[in-house]
Structure 1
Amino acid sequence: MELTAACTPGGPCPPQVLLERSRGALLGLAVGDALGAPAENTKPSEIRARWGRIEGFVTDDPSGTDDTEYAIFSGLLLARHGSALTVAHVERAWHHWIADLDEGPFRGAGFSERGTLENLRRGLAAPISAQHRHAWSDGLAMRAAPFGVFAAGRPAEAARLVAIDGTVSHDGEGIYGGQAVAAGVAAAMAGAGPASVVSAALSVIPSDSWTARSLRRAVTAAPRGERAVRSAVVIGGYPWTDLAPEAVGLAFGAFAACRGDFADSVLTAVNMGRDADTTAAVAGALAGALRGVGAIPVTWASAIGPVRGRCLPSMRGYHVLDVADLLTPETETPR
């Protein structure tokens, strides 16, 4: 059963409600990632030609991508340091878990992550490590949900913490995209309605930023449906689909168009194509935080297992639900 009630204004959420929303946010991210992965870098016309309309998993062995693995990476880091997180902590974690390992062949990390790793391996430190060609990608937005889970009901704190994480790998609009997602999830964790979730996201980024303008256009178009959201946000002719202002706008547009319904929000994001795994992961995190883990269809939830380490070998074996529980330490996990 999905959660619909808001927490008491000005007061803490009941621990069990927080746990349900934490699990909803991170499992929702993983479900969206796995649903969207086959449609990544496609157009809606290509989706229709191949699958008609995607209404569930289109592979026999669904799995997530770097979106889920990097979210686990950031979630574990946040669980270790909490509000005391510093850029030095993040930089050391990138070295310890990723950059200083013998990673073998390239296995699916995004361009922003590859650029960051190259800079770190050359001895560059943050924020210079984020000076690469893809600093405005959605690579921070894809791993931002754990910060909203941790800072439930505190969008500004979620935005502050995710910016610390992002300093190693992103700049400018790439940071703003992560902040918008983290703040939106933080508001949803407290039971804020879809309009308030959007307002929280906009409150933590510059109003004249590309990300804010894209997000506002998407939400304004949302009542007219999926095609209108896509038309309002997508940059025609631009070769890269993982630009943060576009991906974040599409994700919030899908969430707003479906009024926070989990399945509809995620499938809307998937069927818009472009960077579909990330947009669906973000939409899933927002809707999962708002509605709780019970809103995720059982067949989708049961398909998500421990990650396989295809992108980050050091994350192999971790499950997003374990990270959700770590980020709500005051909650006694049911046995």
Structure 2
Amino acid sequence: MSNVSDSRLDRAMGALIGGALGDALGMPTQLLSPQEIRDAYGPVAGFLAPSADHPVSKGLPAGMITDDTEQTLLLAEQLLEGEERFDHHAWVARLLAWEAKVKARGSYDLLGPSTKRAIDLIRAGTPAEEAGRQGTTNGAAMRIAPIGIVMPVDPLDSLVATVAETCAATHATIVAISAAAAVAAAVSAAIDGADWSEAAGRGVEAARAARHVGAWTAAPDIAARITWARDLVAGRSEVDAIAAIVDLVGTSVASQESVPAAFAVVVAAQGDPWRAAVIAANLGGDTDTIGAIAATMAGAAAGLARLPSDRVQALRGIDIADVGRQADGLLELRRAAEAGRC
């Protein structure tokens, strides 16, 4: 039996299951424009099956998770099975095995561009330590929640270093590492009881601490972008906040758009995880990933008990009991990390 507190476990589950809710809700709307979403579905307020002609999600059932959640749980399993230090080569092997399964079931189009490119390079013989040096998109940020559950937010340098290790094979650039560090720190702070706004502040600090970690690419500073995006929507009506996110922040797979957008979505939703998922699903662009990140951070602050239980039960492709086992194990690793600092 775990020694972790019930409140921490509730928040860890809130992060993992919240992310799955945002992922599944945005699955049928990803890659579509806001107008295309309205034309195909009307305002999205619950799980829907994708349209028959959807470019990547066609054929999936309503409430189905995608690679966002699958990679998150894959990283969780790697952390639980690894040694004291992150086993980079075992993680690469796990990613390659997972990618083969994704291809076998016909879902390869769901993978993000940086992950696809890196895996193709590794299979072609590029060393795993070099494959991610062009990865600038949001794939690392979307799956990083297990690091936020395992790692205390302080010292920030330790959290950032661990984030960077998990990014090396696919997203080893400053912009991607900074984005992932921001999400991990927000989750970590929430695990310890920070509310959604306080947690976001720690996320900005982590992005700032990571601004020289990784390969340089021509991308803006993530900490500055998150701060700007949050300030942009603060105090606005939800309708005006959504318009600002779409028109000014951006909703593409680029880390500098989608991750600040996710932080802004949490502000627009006032920290409500389900509302954050709903807002993200209607934005257009990379809706499933923005929803997954936003609802992960909001879910970590709110906890599983505040997620809509009927929606949780309607999720497809995820074993809630197994996620509970992972959350429990990740928190045991956190306890050990905290004990090692004393």
Cα distance change of structure 1 residues 83 and 197 upon mapping to structure 2, 3 Å threshold: farther
**Pairwise mapping of residues 143-154 of structure 1 onto structure 2 (< 5 A)?**
143-154=143-154
Which of 181, 184, 194 pairs up with 1:179? 181
SS of 2:128's equivalent?
coil
* Equivalent residue number for residue 247 of structure 1: 258
Cα distance change of structure 1 residues 121 and 45 upon mapping to structure 2, 3 Å threshold: same
* Equivalent residue number for residue 162 of structure 1: 163
* Equivalent residue number for residue 6 of structure 1: none
Contact kept? 2:136, 2:255, Cα under 8 Å:
yes
* RMSD of Structure 2 on Structure 1 (CA): 2.7
SS of 1:274's equivalent?
coil
Unaligned runs of 5+ residues in structure 2 are 50-60, 212-219, 335-342
* Equivalent residue number for residue 72 of structure 1: 73
Contact kept? 1:33, 1:278, Cα under 8 Å:
yes
Q: How far off its partner does 1:158 sit?
A: 3.6
Contact kept? 1:30, 1:320, Cα under 8 Å:
no
* Equivalent residue number for residue 244 of structure 2: 228
Cα distance change of structure 1 residues 82 and 25 upon mapping to structure 2, 3 Å threshold: farther
Q: Is 2:315 the partner of 1:304?
A: yes
d(CA) in 2 for partners of 1:261, 1:317:
21
* Equivalent residue number for residue 266 of structure 1: 277
Which of 327, 331, 337 pairs up with 1:328? 331
Q: How far off its partner does 1:64 sit?
A: 0.7
SS of 2:12's equivalent?
helix
* Equivalent residue number for residue 213 of structure 1: 224
Q: How far off its partner does 1:51 sit?
A: 2.6
* Equivalent residue number for residue 21 of structure 1: 11
Contact kept? 1:184, 1:286, Cα under 8 Å:
yes
Cα deviation code 1:243-266 (max 9, x no counterpart): 111110111001122221122222
Cα deviation code 1:113-160 (max 9, x no counterpart): 11111111122223311144xx10111111011111112554724433
Contact kept? 1:87, 1:165, Cα under 8 Å:
yes
* Equivalent residue number for residue 39 of structure 1: 29
d(CA) in 1 for partners of 2:68, 2:282:
18
Question: Would you tell me which structure has more helix in proportion to its own residues?
Answer: 2
Unaligned runs of 5+ residues in structure 1 are 1-12, 236-240, 308-315
Cα distance change of structure 1 residues 257 and 99 upon mapping to structure 2, 3 Å threshold: closer
d(CA) in 1 for partners of 2:119, 2:164:
18
TM-score, length of structure 2 as denominator length? 0.80
SS of 2:136's equivalent?
coil
TM-score, length of structure 1 as denominator length? 0.82
Cα deviation code 1:75-94 (max 9, x no counterpart): 11112236511434433433
SS of 1:64's equivalent?
coil
Percentage identity across aligned positions? 27
* Equivalent residue number for residue 290 of structure 1: 301
What is the one-letter code of the residue matched to 1:288?
A: G
Q: Is 2:196 the partner of 1:194?
A: yes
Cα deviation code 1:158-204 (max 9, x no counterpart): 43322111011012212221111111111111121233212111112
Contact kept? 1:26, 1:145, Cα under 8 Å:
yes
What is the one-letter code of the residue matched to 1:275?
A: D
d(CA) in 2 for partners of 1:264, 1:288:
11
Deviates more, 1:137-146 or 1:218-227: 218-227
SS of 1:124's equivalent?
coil
SS of 1:280's equivalent?
helix
d(CA) in 1 for partners of 2:326, 2:276:
23
Deviates more, 1:320-329 or 1:38-47: 320-329
Q: How far off its partner does 1:14 sit?
A: 6.1
SS of 1:327's equivalent?
helix
d(CA) in 1 for partners of 2:280, 2:164:
25
Cα distance change of structure 1 residues 301 and 231 upon mapping to structure 2, 3 Å threshold: same
What is the one-letter code of the residue matched to 2:16?
A: L
Deviates more, 1:103-112 or 1:145-154: 103-112
Q: Is 2:55 the partner of 1:54?
A: no
Contact kept? 1:184, 1:198, Cα under 8 Å:
yes
**Pairwise mapping of residues 91-106 of structure 1 onto structure 2 (< 5 A)?**
91-95=92-96, 97-98=97-98, 103-104=103-104
